[in-house]
Structure 1
Amino acid sequence: MIDPIEFIQNASSITKKSMNKLKLKTNPFSEKPIRGNTKFFVGRTTELIEIADILGAAQYGSISNAAIVGTKGIGKSSLLNVIYYAAKRQNHWTVELEASQVTPRQFLIHLMYGIIRDNIFAMDGTLSTDYMEHSQKIIDIYRRLESFSDKTPVHYPREKIERDLDYLLNNVKEEGKLCIILIDEADQFAKKSCLGLLQFFHSFLYDEGILSFFAGSPTLMENLTKVSPAMRDRFPKIINMPPLSKEEAYDLILRRLKDAQTVKANGYDPFTENAINTIVEECDGIPRRIIMTCSESISIGLKKGLTEIDENIVKTAMKKLGISIGHQILNHLTPAQSKIIKALAESGGKSTVTELAKILNNSPGTIGTHLSDIYEMGYIYKDRSGSNVYYILSKELKDVLIPEEENL
């Protein structure tokens, strides 16, 4: 009989020895967004200048809400976190939220909870001494929020919530401070069911002293304005996030490795030069892909007890991640979109709207609309040949849906 506690301890000890073989103290590649620590933040000079200009102008009454847009894994969440801590350092009220399909009342609950927790309460969970003159009112509001959940308290009607929020913003918040609202995954609001929320945003974001940053896909503002055209006026600034340059990709890897290497390590240890070059070439400047590939390569190296990670290990990691990412994409699609993607795979991974419409016995218009949505999400590509437009599966989806011999 194996003692489970002893088994875990032994396995942990083996992992530590294997990590030392790779000249690493820990695996430095984490997907979590940067939170306050900017030593791993690479590049983005242009975007940071734009954000600095927006924050600077907002402090003097010129509010320009901004959308931060880019493909999945490009670093939007990390950039929002940089804004969060930069704004906190300037003593502004700052709230981070993730978009979800909620009503205006539910959103206000999330917003007020975040304002009080992150800005009015001290680190130890008590009311900051700066706001003691408003203590009774703030505590009354917070008590209402203690039952905070997706099911908002029925005893807290929206009119009352709006009055309380107005009190916090106009009576409690010091003059000269901004209330900065950061919303990630904002594409979740681009649905007809969120029309009421977007209409609320249109008026709410007009209030003085409120600055918002929405993060989402390259088509975020187009998607939002399809639901509520007035949103375009509220977000005059669009910050596009391109892929990292090759120099920035090398820098991203090196910074993280240096933070975790043992004293015996040099350069990009434990990666060989060819391994690093493969990662940079194949990951297309997408930070999340680079980080995931490095992390998976180290995991494989640990399991094999290796002393270095070469190009073959990196390719194995990429293949494994391709399958994993492909399944994640399929899970993200609607049933109708999944049928189209599978039909596209049955056609060898490349087909036109007309061909797919025949296979699925559906109208080209319907198929075309779904393909456009999937294309905007970055899961398929387009290629024009003469008068025909071909849709092509991404590598991640090919790895999942097309057998390897056919893919080759």
Structure 2
Amino acid sequence: MIDPIEFIHNASSISKKSMNRLKLKSNPFSEKPIRGNTKFFVGRNSELSEIADILGAAQYGSVANAAIVGTKGIGKSSILNILYYAAKRHGHWIVQLEASQVTARQFLIQLMHSIIGDNLFSVDGTLSTNYMEHSKKIIEIYRRLNTYSDKTPVHYPREKIERDLKYLLHNVKEEGKLCVILVDEADQFAKRSCLGLLQFFHSFLYEDDILAFFAGPPTMMEDLTKISPAIRDRIPKVINMPPLDKAEAHDLILRRLEDVHTSGASEYDPFTPESIEKIIEECDGIPRRIIMTCSEAISIGLKNSSTTVDESMVESALKKLGISVGHQILNHLTPAQSKIVRAMADLGGSSTVTELSGVLNNSPGTIGTHLSDIYEMGYVYKERDGYNVYYTLSKELKDVLITEKDN
């Protein structure tokens, strides 16, 4: 009989010894977005400059809300976190939300709860002395927020929510300070059910002291505009997040390794030069993909009791992760888009709009529109051959779809 506690203890001890063999104190590759500590942040100088200009102009009354767009894993959440701490340093009210609550009332309640909890209360949970003159009203609003539930919506009608929100912004917030609202995964608002919320944004985002940043995929603004055309005027700035260049990708890996190296390690230990180049080449400058590949390759090195992480281990990591990334992509696609990429897999991974139209019994125009959206998200590639344009599945989708088909 194996004692499970003893087994876990022994296995953990072996892993620690194996990590030291790789000249590492720990695995430095975490997928968590960068927060206050920016020592692992690389590149993005032009994007940071745009954000600084927007924030600076807003402090002097020239407010221009912005969209931060890019493919999955490109670093949008890390940019929002950096913006969060930068705005905090300026003394602005700052609210960071995910677009998970997508009705107007739910979003407003989430927004108000964050405004009060993150900006008006001290670390110990008591009201900041800066707002004591409004204490009675603030506590009353906060109690109402904490007792609200979907089962008792009459306790907090939307009209009263908006009135209380205006009170906080116009009466409580210090003059000359902004309320900066950061919304991640804002593409979730691109639904008919969110039309009321988008219409609320039409007036709300015109307030002089409110600055909003919405983060989402490359097609987010087009998708939001389809639901509510006027939203384009409310979010006039679009900051595109391109992939990292090769020098930045090297820097991303190097900074993390330097942080956990044991004495005597060289700059890229335990990775060989060939394995580093393989990672840079295959990960297309997507930070999350680079980080996941490095982490998985180190795990393979630990299991093999190796002293280095070579190119074959990186290839194994890429193969394993390619399938999981492919599933993530499939989960991100709409049902119609999913049917198209599966049909492309049935046709060998590459096809024209006409071929897909015949297989799916749908019009070329509809197929072409969906393919354009999938192409914008970076999940398919296209190439012209004479009069024909061929769309090809990305490596991640090929790995999962054609492997499923073969099995």
Query: TM over 0.5, yes or no?
Result: yes
Is the CA contact (8 Å cut-off) linking 2:148 and 2:155 kept in structure 1? Answer: no
2:368 matched residue in structure 1: 368
Query: Distance between the aligned counterparts of 1:364 and 1:243, measured in 2?
Result: 31
Q: CA deviation at 1:244?
A: 1.0
1:65 matched residue in structure 2: 65
Is the CA contact (8 Å cut-off) linking 2:69 and 2:240 kept in structure 1? Answer: yes
Is the CA contact (8 Å cut-off) linking 1:294 and 1:314 kept in structure 2? Answer: yes
Q: CA deviation at 1:304?
A: 1.3
Query: Distance between the aligned counterparts of 2:149 and 2:314, measured in 1?
Result: 43
Deviates more, 1:320-329 or 1:381-390: 381-390
Query: Distance between the aligned counterparts of 2:92 and 2:375, measured in 1?
Result: 38
Q: Where in structure 2 are the equivalents of 1:232-271 lying within 5 Å?
A: 232-271=232-271
Q: Where in structure 2 are the equivalents of 1:24-43 lying within 5 Å?
A: 24-43=24-43
Q: 1:152 to 1:57 in 2, by over 3 A?
A: farther
Is the CA contact (8 Å cut-off) linking 1:109 and 1:152 kept in structure 2? Answer: no
Q: CA deviation at 1:267?
A: 0.8
Q: 1:396 to 1:12 in 2, by over 3 A?
A: same
Query: Distance between the aligned counterparts of 1:152 and 1:273, measured in 2?
Result: 61
Is the CA contact (8 Å cut-off) linking 1:100 and 1:189 kept in structure 2? Answer: no
Q: Where in structure 2 are the equivalents of 1:8-407 lying within 5 Å?
A: 8-100=8-100, 102-147=102-147, 153-403=153-403
Query: Distance between the aligned counterparts of 2:129 and 2:246, measured in 1?
Result: 48
Q: CA deviation at 1:149?
A: 5.7
Query: Distance between the aligned counterparts of 1:350 and 1:189, measured in 2?
Result: 32
Match of 2:182, SS state, is strand
User: C-alpha offsets along residues 100-125 of structure 1, whole Å, 9 cap, x if unaligned?
Assistant: 36221111101001111111111122
User: C-alpha offsets along residues 342-390 of structure 1, whole Å, 9 cap, x if unaligned?
Assistant: 2110101011121112122333233333323322332212222222222
Match of 1:119, SS state, is helix
Is the CA contact (8 Å cut-off) linking 1:181 and 1:213 kept in structure 2? Answer: yes
Q: 1:181 to 1:285 in 2, by over 3 A?
A: same
Query: Distance between the aligned counterparts of 2:6 and 2:160, measured in 1?
Result: 57
1:7 matched residue in structure 2: 7
Is the CA contact (8 Å cut-off) linking 1:300 and 1:313 kept in structure 2? Answer: yes
Query: Distance between the aligned counterparts of 1:150 and 1:156, measured in 2?
Result: 10
Match of 2:392, SS state, is strand
Q: 1:32 to 1:127 in 2, by over 3 A?
A: same
Query: Distance between the aligned counterparts of 1:127 and 1:37, measured in 2?
Result: 27
Q: Structure 1: 5+ residue runs without aligned partners?
A: none
Q: 1:74 to 1:151 in 2, by over 3 A?
A: farther
Q: CA deviation at 1:151?
A: 6.2
Is the CA contact (8 Å cut-off) linking 1:301 and 1:313 kept in structure 2? Answer: yes
Query: Distance between the aligned counterparts of 2:152 and 2:89, measured in 1?
Result: 32
Letter in 1 for 2:290: I
Q: CA deviation at 1:198?
A: 0.8
Query: Distance between the aligned counterparts of 1:301 and 1:96, measured in 2?
Result: 38
Query: Distance between the aligned counterparts of 1:311 and 1:226, measured in 2?
Result: 46
Q: 1:310 to 1:4 in 2, by over 3 A?
A: same
Query: Distance between the aligned counterparts of 1:192 and 1:204, measured in 2?
Result: 19
Is the CA contact (8 Å cut-off) linking 2:47 and 2:239 kept in structure 1? Answer: yes
Match of 2:154, SS state, is coil
Match of 2:155, SS state, is coil
Is the CA contact (8 Å cut-off) linking 1:101 and 1:189 kept in structure 2? Answer: no
Deviates more, 1:3-12 or 1:134-143: 3-12
The RMSD of aligned alpha carbons is 1.7
Give the alignment's TM-score, normalised by structure 1: 0.96
Is the CA contact (8 Å cut-off) linking 1:101 and 1:188 kept in structure 2? Answer: no
Query: Distance between the aligned counterparts of 1:23 and 1:201, measured in 2?
Result: 52
Match of 1:320, SS state, is helix
Letter in 2 for 1:122: S
User: C-alpha offsets along residues 131-175 of structure 1, whole Å, 9 cap, x if unaligned?
Assistant: 111111111111111135666743100111111111111111111
Is the CA contact (8 Å cut-off) linking 1:187 and 1:217 kept in structure 2? Answer: yes
Letter in 2 for 1:95: V
Query: Distance between the aligned counterparts of 1:295 and 1:243, measured in 2?
Result: 20
User: C-alpha offsets along residues 180-239 of structure 1, whole Å, 9 cap, x if unaligned?
Assistant: 000111111112221111111111011120000111122221221111111111112111
Query: Distance between the aligned counterparts of 1:120 and 1:370, measured in 2?
Result: 45
